[in-house]
Amino acid sequence: MLATLVRELNMVRLSVGAVAMIALVGCTGLIDDGNSGLTKEEVAAREAWINGAAPVLSTNCVACHNGSRPAIEFLAGEGDLPMRDTVLAFTPAVVNLDAPASSRLLTKGVHDGPALLASEASALLEWIKAEKDAQPAPEGETPAVEIEPFIPAICTSGTPPAPTCPVNDVDLSVLGLAGAKLHFVAQALGSGLYLNQLSIIGGPDGVYLEHPLFVSYPAGAEEPTFDTIDRFFNVKINSMANATTMIGGGTAAFIGFTATDKISIHFKVLKAYQPDNGMGGGGGGGDNGGGCKALASFKTNAQALFSNPVAGAAQSCRGCHAGQNGNASSAMNITGVDSQTDATIQTACNQIRTRINTTTIDQSGIYLAVDPANQNHPFRLTAAQLTAFKNGVNVWINAEKVAP
């Protein structure tokens, strides 16, 4: 079933020129002659920017993001509205109009700069909502597609293909891709839904997809629940015929999703393999676009914890996830994590990086898998061992969190 993707929530940021603009605006809203030819939604968006978002960004963000660091200068531009345009168009995106609450502006948290206060985040969110409402639908844009909502089969114990641990193979034929499937194993968590082996399987025509967005439909609720961090916002996968390609590393923990509720997946683009788009035979990204950035910290603080058993534990992550166990390695392959060569360590680190959640670190897949309460993972740590594991690995995760 095809359905247009319903655009949801939002977010964003600004720069120094806003202060002068706000002084000019005063209590009158926009400058009197600035609204010519604008729709009422566009006027509302400008007012939300000038009166709400601009002051927040001027206070918190402009010092680092107005050009002093070229890679993150999303607040560059002279004047108030040019700066707004830069924020909205910046690549990699810091504003997500499809799922605004997951925008990087709002989810970054503490980094080299301060975290936003609740009131400040609210002002940014209201501005992005207004921007979303003001945007016309692009002419000729292919409508986003949605898998029809369904209740996932839940793995309660053991590993696939045990009767108690079924797999989910969602047929994409109804979306025009004969023989293609979305594959995953789902497990219930106390705080949400955990997926592993998350992958796309191409049929005879292969699959090209962009930006899969997971959505839950809580029973009795009027509105669906979107993946709050929109972790796959920058995913692009071009998978050739009959190939299997992991999505964002193959694991994801969706906080706030309930295992008994229906879920769906929206795709910005979903079509057959594209041989001429320069991506080769496969590819993808995730909320970790660019992979492991703080390699030095990984080597110092985390490498040994993945390579060797935590004190008192029977085995290490490397014992299963470095090629020894096919299922484990397909979920996370850290072959070479014990290497002394940076390029090899980088590859393993990239895999682990796809399983960390820098917004809610304790909800990282690397921790949820070995949690003593998780009866579905074949190897678990004790509470004390998990704490020791986190104490070292968290140093690296926090370094990743603030890495430019």
In single-letter form, the type of residue at position 217 comes to Y
CA-to-CA distance for 376 and 327, rounded, in angstroms?
Answer: 13
How does pLDDT run across 211-260, given as a tens digit for each residue? 898 999 998 888 888 887 778 877 888 888 888 888 877 888 888 899 99
Q: Looking at 75, 110, 134, which one is the last position of a domain?
A: 134
Residue 299 lies in a domain: yes
25 and 126 in a single domain? The answer is yes
The stretch 170-197 carries a mean pLDDT of 90
243 and 324 in a single domain? The answer is no
Residue 301 lies in a domain: yes
Residue 221 lies in a domain: yes
316 and 392 in a single domain? The answer is yes
How does pLDDT run across 292-317, given as a tens digit for each residue? 888 999 999 999 999 999 988 888 99
Residue 102 pLDDT: 65
109 and 158 in a single domain? The answer is no
The neighbouring-strand residues paired with 188 are: 193
159 and 256 in a single domain? The answer is yes
CA-to-CA distance for 46 and 328, rounded, in angstroms?
Answer: 50
Task: Please tell me the pTM assigned to this model.
Answer: 0.49
Residue pair 106/127 in contact (Cβ under 8 Å)? The answer is: no
319 and 365 in a single domain? The answer is yes
CA-to-CA distance for 329 and 340, rounded, in angstroms?
Answer: 21
210 phi/psi in degrees, rounded to 5: -135, 140
* Least confident interval from 27-36, 85-94, 212-221, 302-311: 27-36
Residue 4 lies in a domain: no
Q: Looking at 220, 236, 271, which one is the last position of a domain?
A: 271
CA-to-CA distance for 109 and 40, rounded, in angstroms?
Answer: 33
40 and 98 in a single domain? The answer is yes
pLDDT at 170 over 70: yes
pLDDT at 30 over 60: no
CA-to-CA distance for 320 and 328, rounded, in angstroms?
Answer: 6
259 and 322 in a single domain? The answer is no
Q: How far is CA 362 from CA 160, 191, 352, 393, in A?
A: 26, 11, 15, 11
Structure tokens at 317: 């992550």
Residue 260 pLDDT: 92
Q: Looking at 106, 134, 162, which one is the last position of a domain?
A: 134
103 and 157 in a single domain? The answer is no
pLDDT level of residue 25 (50, 70, 90 thresholds): very low
217 phi/psi in degrees, rounded to 5: -115, 85
Residue 221 three-state SS: coil
Among 399, 364, 393, smallest CA distance to 293 is for 399
The stretch 86-97 carries a mean pLDDT of 76
pLDDT at 324 over 90: no
Q: How far apart are the first and last CA of the chain?
A: 40
- What's the mean pLDDT when you consider all of the chain? 77
Residue pair 195/203 in contact (Cβ under 8 Å)? The answer is: no
129 and 40 in a single domain? The answer is yes
Structure tokens at 54: 């601009």
> Could you list the residue range(s) of the whole structural domain that residue 76 is in?
17-134
Tally of domains within the chain: 3
Residue pair 311/245 in contact (Cβ under 8 Å)? The answer is: no
263 or 19, which is more confident: 263
Structure tokens at 283: 């590819």
The neighbouring-strand residues paired with 307 are: none
Q: What is the number of residues in the chain?
A: 404
User: What is the sign, positive or negative, of the torsion defined by CA atoms of 240, 183, 175, 139?
Assistant: negative
Residue 359 lies in a domain: yes
Find the helix or strand (DSSP H, E) in which 237 lies: strand 236-239
Among 224, 166, 196, 97, smallest CA distance to 106 is for 97
Residues 6+ apart with CB under 8 A from 223: none
Residue 377 lies in a domain: yes
349 and 239 in a single domain? The answer is no
Exposure string for 384-403, b = 16+ CB within 10 A, e = fewer: ebbebbbebbbebbbbbbee
Residue 2 pLDDT: 30
Residue 11 lies in a domain: no
Torsional class of 176: left (φ above 0), alpha (ψ -120 to 50), beta (otherwise): left
161 and 260 in a single domain? The answer is yes
Residue 28 pLDDT: 32
Residue 279 lies in a domain: no
